[in-house]
Structure 1
């Protein structure tokens, strides 16, 4: 059967499965039919500086765009937003983050034409004021999600949040983290006026008190996701004294019967707080983040996990009281776990990895950076026959584990042969031979980070067709390694070789000419590569979108 005889609806389903954006570029050049289908199904567009020249053509080409991301654009946004507003697109989401100031006139134009916008992201804006919030609410009255987090200079006050809350009654989700002037009044006005509010984040808003948080929870018991931090320490006299958790806040958790996600990163909490949380959320809770929290114990987290056994995402970074034995006990409750982050838990050894892969059969992602990985724990296995293969684990992050050795890494890869992402950043105890063995065993690896490992060669004699992202930054590799990569890593999309001071223009030429799908290349501090020659080489590979030159200049195509 020829492609023209295959129903377009089937092709459309196949291409949707492949992904979005650059993933569809190879497909779009096959024939006019495929080009038409990929144009039709593309729903998101990221605009960088060079894209501005082609913007009118892109907006008329992709008629079903729903998402436009301007967070990487560093030019003048007002005219750009005016073009988008005149395109006739029915957008759902616009991201204008990382701008020096909010493009007020452009947003007015956008709001006058695209009245159904549902999501607006304005994170990391240089300066944010109450007047900006009022304009946002006036221009986009049907917003359901708004992100105004972490402006560099926040003048947002309770007045602005109050006005916003009265004008955006349909708001479902808001992130006002980093707006340090807002108080309890802001939180209460949002919970009172936005009757559909389900998700709220207010990290580092330390003028919001525990009393205010408790009152807000009681006022809006339908909250499903809460993200905030309780200040760890406050100055009292000559010293630093922890601020205790109030019983009022602990008791208020009983109001939240629909909680499915909680992020308390960098908070001073207690076992009593966790127990109340568990009793309230029960089996609704799917995500729990306690990154860098203090003052809770194994008893507290054990109680939570025993009561909330449907948790899928668990983050216990820097919980330094955890041991292999603790993880063994907790793993009995984690039957639905898909992602766990134990980075910075300095007592955890190889045994924890074996326990998790054996007992948590749905686990997809394991992060154990800066732990005691590489050391055999008491629960370790003695022979290959003790290993229980886990085909579900796809991503493993072992960064900054200086004790990780070849034997341990080989055993881990034997347990998880379906690995697609392997991060070994700064794991200085592993050898090139072991890495090659792992790549051969885990043939589906598509993302490999070997930065700062001390490896001096990357010698392989077999094709790594699945590899898309390769980070070799800080290694003492030479051009012969790049030659091998250019011949055998035919699917490479992103290559990072910054601070590889022995790489020359010759090696870079091999990569650019032979890796025809390469999208991004980082050459920062590759002092033997000439900037001007890099610009000339890019003409031989039209797929390149981003290059960081040896002098550190970001160039977008």
Structure 2
């Protein structure tokens, strides 16, 4: 038999059979990339045969640190997507060691202090990346100069997605930088999705050239580009009416940008396929919202986060004519009240997610109106509102809302255990609950959630001063992320956590001053899938426990160390080879 027919251990199933079985497990449509990779990593620990077979299914990989820079590429030979945004090491050396057999289509180099010129040049010489790479992300770089942008433009002509947003420093003279951006608009003609947010030299002329030259362009992100004007944006939009996603911000700049012109408003009427519109932190107007409504655009996502100069009249007029909207963000629309949300919700039957954080007038009444009128709603964000007030509303509390999966209700000081108990009964399929800074919530409410919501995966109790313990007796076997930072939990609570949360992946204990090394050891020993733990400012946890943690729990990928941690020379090889310690 060939290598793919090999039988491990002399008596098991052949590789092809296990490959078929594993494909049914990991190729589910509802799995995210991270979930898929977590499954693969778990399966790879079962046996050498499972390790070999599971490696074939890993196409996307996020590397944090590896002392042997060849090893990931030897193990995962089918890699097409590489995320180095959290990599802590020599980026140039790593890129230089990617073998010719790897065919990359996606590369993420974000968050680094330097742009890896030498590494990319070596990669281009050794591999087919020049012709295969279609997605490049270099956001939040410490420095990005004109030569780096020119290198991207010259080296990756087949890019369809490019993100070079928010460089911390733009070095070089303005003229050279402008020319580099111009080269980008000329050479990357196949771009479909581009994010140029935070580039201060990106102006009307460059946006116009981008829209003229990139005939496949569909999605544009231009937050904090201070030299864009209304008329300049409009002129560019007229050149590319096929745009379906448009995101821009800072209309309130003091350069006259706050004067919305009819030319600008009318330009959006040409975007007949516009499905996503994001005007975050901009000055808009009711006239503009009404004009958008009259165009009957097929919007399914609208973001007006932090926008100024519009009123309830404008948003009502638009939403009452946007019947297919699925995602709505009206953060800090402080004019909104319960009655307003009740009236708007009638038109939002297709809504899947809504963000009303910072709308401080909204109470339980608005919350329940959304539930009644939006039958597809799966995610509700109402942080810094007034949830917990006006509990008595006309609602059948026996009614179950199976579709609701995520509740973000942080910083609602009136939120009580009674509310949480009610939510647990109404949302049995809830997977995420974020109630950080809700100081009236205690273990009573949290225990009810854990008992009534068996699918809960993410629980954020940071700064909840009364949520200091758990009293349930059974396992909450699906909980993966638990944030208990800035609480008064102690070792007894950590002992309970080690018993009832066996599948925990991430645990945040920052500023938990009653926790000691004993409690940390219990969690690390019992939570066998643990990947990240935060012990920042845990003053009673010994820094010496870090080496033991890494040695005892191979699944760990990131540790935020307690105060005074200094790796000893004998630990450096162990620390660098296993996980990121910061």
TM over 0.5: yes
Residue 563 of structure 2 is matched in structure 1 by: 551
Tell me, in whole angstroms, the C-alpha distance in 2 between the residues paired with 1:510 and 1:407: 32
Aligned residue for 1:146, secondary structure, equals strand
Aligned residue for 1:211, secondary structure, equals helix
1:410 paired with 2:421, answer yes
1:95-110 alignment to 2 at 5 Å?
95-110=108-123
Task: Give deviations 1:417-444, integer Å, cap 9, x for gaps.
Answer: 1100000101001121121112111121
In structure 2, the CA distance between the partners of 1:417 and 1:266, relative to structure 1 (3 Å rule), is same
Match of 1:11 among 22, 31, 45: 22
1:225-236 alignment to 2 at 5 Å?
225-234=245-254
Tell me, in whole angstroms, the C-alpha distance in 1 between the residues paired with 2:234 and 2:255: 23
1:525 paired with 2:537, answer yes
1:132-531 alignment to 2 at 5 Å?
132-155=148-171, 157-234=177-254, 243-280=258-295, 282=297, 284-376=298-390, 380-381=392-393, 385-454=396-465, 455-531=467-543
Tell me, in whole angstroms, the C-alpha distance in 2 between the residues paired with 1:499 and 1:465: 26
Q: TM-score, normalised by structure 2?
A: 0.90
Aligned residue for 1:232, secondary structure, equals coil
Tell me, in whole angstroms, the C-alpha distance in 1 between the residues paired with 2:53 and 2:393: 52
Task: Give deviations 1:405-426, integer Å, cap 9, x for gaps.
Answer: 1122222222211100000101
Q: Does the CA-based 8 Å contact 1:65-1:91 persist in structure 2?
A: yes
Residue 286 of structure 1 and its aligned partner are, at CA, apart by 1.3
Match of 1:59 among 63, 73, 77: 73
Tell me, in whole angstroms, the C-alpha distance in 2 between the residues paired with 1:8 and 1:93: 25
Residue 222 of structure 1 and its aligned partner are, at CA, apart by 0.7
Residue 387 of structure 1 and its aligned partner are, at CA, apart by 5.0
Aligned residue for 2:242, secondary structure, equals coil
Q: Does the CA-based 8 Å contact 1:358-1:388 persist in structure 2?
A: no
In structure 2, the CA distance between the partners of 1:122 and 1:309, relative to structure 1 (3 Å rule), is same
Q: Does the CA-based 8 Å contact 1:347-1:372 persist in structure 2?
A: yes
Q: Does the CA-based 8 Å contact 1:264-1:289 persist in structure 2?
A: yes
Aligned residue for 2:194, secondary structure, equals strand
Tell me, in whole angstroms, the C-alpha distance in 2 between the residues paired with 1:507 and 1:293: 46
Residue 275 of structure 1 and its aligned partner are, at CA, apart by 2.1
Match of 1:69 among 79, 83, 101: 83
Q: TM-score, normalised by structure 1?
A: 0.93
Residue 131 of structure 1 is matched in structure 2 by: 147
Task: Give deviations 1:42-87, integer Å, cap 9, x for gaps.
Answer: 11111113x2x24312212212111111111232211211112x34
Aligned residue for 2:533, secondary structure, equals strand
Q: Does the CA-based 8 Å contact 1:12-1:37 persist in structure 2?
A: no
Residue 173 of structure 1 and its aligned partner are, at CA, apart by 1.1
Task: Give deviations 1:243-287, integer Å, cap 9, x for gaps.
Answer: 2211211111111111111111001001111122233352x2111
Residue 101 of structure 1 and its aligned partner are, at CA, apart by 2.2
Alignment length, in residue pairs? 544
Residue 358 of structure 1 and its aligned partner are, at CA, apart by 1.9
Unaligned 5+ segments in structure 1 are: 237-241
Unaligned 5+ segments in structure 2 are: 1-11, 567-574
Residue 460 of structure 1 and its aligned partner are, at CA, apart by 2.5
Q: Does the CA-based 8 Å contact 2:397-2:426 persist in structure 1?
A: no
In structure 2, the CA distance between the partners of 1:23 and 1:7, relative to structure 1 (3 Å rule), is closer
Aligned residue for 2:69, secondary structure, equals helix
Tell me, in whole angstroms, the C-alpha distance in 2 between the residues paired with 1:301 and 1:55: 53
Aligned residue for 1:41, secondary structure, equals coil
Residue 293 of structure 1 and its aligned partner are, at CA, apart by 0.5
Q: Does the CA-based 8 Å contact 1:471-1:495 persist in structure 2?
A: yes
C-alpha RMSD of matched pairs (Å): 2.0
Q: Does the CA-based 8 Å contact 1:20-1:44 persist in structure 2?
A: no
Task: Give deviations 1:97-149, integer Å, cap 9, x for gaps.
Answer: 11122111222222342121000001111221222211111111101111111
